[in-house]
Amino acid sequence: MFATLSDRLTATFKNLRGKGRLSEADIDATAREIRIALLEADVALPVVKDFVAAVKERARGEEVSGALNPAQQVVKIVNDELVNILGGETRRLRYAKSGPTVIMLAGLQGAGKTTLAAKLALWLKEQGKTPMLVACDLQRPNAVNQLQVNGERAGVPVYAPEPGNGVGDPVAVAKASIEDAKRKLHDVVIVDTAGRLGVDAEMMAQAAAIRDAVQPDEVLFVVDAMIGQDALTTAQAFLEGVGYDGVVLTKLDGDARGGAALSIRQVTGRPVMFASSGEKLTDFDLFHPDRMASRILDMGDVLTLIEQAEKAFDQEQALKAAQKLTGQGGEFTLDDFLEQMQQVRKLGSMSKILGMLPGMGQIREQLENFDDREIDRVAAIIHSMTPAERANPKMIDGSRRARIAKGCGRTVSDVNNLVDRFFEARKMMMQMARGGGMPGMPGLPGMPGAGAGAGKRSSAKQKAKQQGKGGKRRSGNPAKAAQQAKADAEKATTKPNPFGLPAEDVDYEAAAENLDLPKDFSKFLK
């Protein structure tokens, strides 16, 4: 969503690189480019003015003039100000001290309230809560049915005594749902309310009546991040008509400019609490201002990536794969390779995963054109192999490759590429797992096995290699091998000669007396 803004800001900061000192003209030019970038991203004008003024004031201060790298300091200032207008700190849900926590959703029709209700319920369920959904949108056709279907997908019960489609009293349903939740021991109640295509008095009155009936602990305003400046008008109207505690942004995966997301916190004074960025029920999480600012500045969002990986990855499988890569649990096979790819697939699309890494904005076009079906093609090739071939890919010769290609509907060159890439990937992963770093690079300190123990293992390997080249070879005859071992043991106990000559007993004091030294040379021996 913030691609245009991110690209513009990145280009602006490139112009500052290499400057040991920033002049007044540099600061003004940078501020002008930032202003244009924000306006093009559809950020509200008052927010743009405050943002640029704060950046200019700090850029002229001591923190930049005294910095070793002024350009990086300006990037830090912009990052800090972005975090500030996005809310500063992560705002979390407030739970009721007694009884069920009631969360009411409000917003226009089409903002995604019903889907978001199920996403929030699933998220709360993963946090150890026992939520219940309440169908109070009785106007929109099939709204009740949609909530029931989404609730079933999330594994969360839905309270829907009325069929909807214009039938039923939403205020009575909301009031009765609280008693039902207490009776069934649900600790969170999520109330889905009706919306309209635009702000009107009837919708506001109904939402206010539901709010008064259930006395919610949190009222969340759900807004479509793609509707631009109109989002601010709607947010202000709901704030005055119903009131709310936090904002939920939906459709953050869209291609709109996203300025509303940057403006809504500053204009309404209410924090953005959650963000939804996809169609799946799992595409939902807390909104972290610092991480969003980092994404906008193309510095990645590694923390979110790690959190998603921890939820998606099977720890036991990952441990087994790691042991195989270090040579402790057998050999890393194509079956293990496929399992790892399938676990990565659980994180979502590859373009989304790679987009969370720093600097990926520079290859955004390639990421957008990445074909996620490539993983399916790889899986088809591996499944066409026999268990023995997957366990030992070295046995896959020409005739086997032809059979595998025919079995999965791919070409022989596709099979060749997969096998070659597997061996290269396994070699690289084994080297990294053992602390060898990337190929062609020395082991990095802090990597597993890259400490003193790694140096000892390396020197031991070199020593063994040298002994293998220059040492005596053992006989295959057991009797001769025993004689050689005995001779080597006797040789090891003999006092070595310091000059590398054959070992023998030498009286060094007597030898020194027999030396024919020049006159007065003895003083140098004292």
* Residues tagged in the binding site annotation: 107-114, 192-196, 250-253
Q: State phi, psi for 447 to the nearest 5 degrees.
A: -75, 150
| Contact yes or no for 189/177 (Cβ under 8 A) | yes
Give the integer Cα–Cα distance in Å for 147 and 454. Answer: 57
Cα–Cα distance for residue pair 297/295, rounded to 1 Å: 5
Return the DSSP state at 218. E
Tokens of 206: 């109904």
What b-and-e string marks burial along 180-214, b requiring 16 or more CB atoms within 10 Å of the CB?
bbeeeebbbbbbbbbbbeebeeebbebbeebbebb
Mapping DSSP to helix (H, G, I), strand (E, B) and coil, where does residue 149 land?
helix
Residue stretches of the annotated binding site for GTP: 107-114, 192-196, 250-253
Q: Which two tokens stand for residue 106?
A: 């409000």
One-letter identity of residue 84: N
DSSP code for 221: E
Element (H, E) at 174: helix 170-183
Return left, alpha or beta for 516; rule: phi > 0 is left, psi -120 to 50 is alpha, else beta: beta
CB of 196 within 8 A of CB of 109? Answer: yes
Residue 437's contacts (CB-CB under 8 Å, 6 or more residues apart) are: 431, 443, 444, 447, 450
Q: State the SS3 of 295-313.
A: HHCCCCCHHHHHHHHHHHC
The CA-based angle 208-182-101, given to 5 degrees, is 50
Specify the amino acid at residue 411.
Answer: T
Please state, as a whole number, how many other Cβ atoms lie within 10 Å of the Cβ of residue 76: 16
Q: Which amino acid is at 182?
A: K
Element (H, E) at 179: helix 170-183
Distance CA 49, CA 51 (A): 5
DSSP secondary structure letters along 61-128:
SHHHHT-S-HHHHHHHHHHHHHHHHTTSS---PPPPSSS-EEEEEE--TTS-HHHHHHHHHHHHHHTT
Grouping H, G, I as helix, E, B as strand and the rest as coil, residue 345 is helix
Among 154, 156, 162, 211, which Cα is nearest to 181's? 156
